[in-house]
Amino acid sequence: MKYRYLLVDRIPRHLEEGVVYHTEEFELAGLLCACGCGHRITLLVPDSHQVWDEGGHATIRPSIGVFDAPCKSHYVISAGDVQWLRAFSDAQAANIMRAQIARHIEMDAKPVTWRQRASGAVASLFRKFLAFFSK
């Protein structure tokens, strides 16, 4: 399976296999697990993951670790291709989740400056500009 990149206003309720939905406004991406189990994955962009379009195919960094489904999948997506990685142990998964929660708490405690907001807005407009002209 090769993942397509789709820029959307909102992540749809029903996700199609092989599509990474990305909403810049809400800083989220959504996809179904690459293993085929049907588990819905939501990524926080750019907080925990980077998602971008490579010629109509999705690239996601860092890796996607599925901790909340029985499949326990772990992989990266590069230009639409899935590259499987070794699954995390339960202890590793718990440590990653604790670190991620701590990072969110820390980020929520910091006020966002006008420069950070402006920089994010300019970057978003630039990505939209590039996406428009790369079609």
What is the per-residue pLDDT across 71-121, written as a single tens digit (0 to 9) for each? 989 999 999 999 999 988 888 888 888 887 887 787 777 676 777 677 777
The amino acid at residue 28 is: L
The pLDDT confidence band at residue 57, using thresholds 50, 70 and 90, is very high
- Rounded Cα distance, 30 and 18, in Å: 11
pLDDT of 131 reads 63
pLDDT confidence of residue 60:
97
Across all residues in the chain, what is the average pLDDT? 87
Question: pLDDT category, 67, cuts 50, 70, 90?
Answer: confident
Q: For residue 80, give the DSSP letter.
A: T
Q: What is the mean pLDDT of residues 41-60?
A: 93
Look at residues 108, 107, 67 and name the one whose alpha carbon lies nearest to residue 88.
67
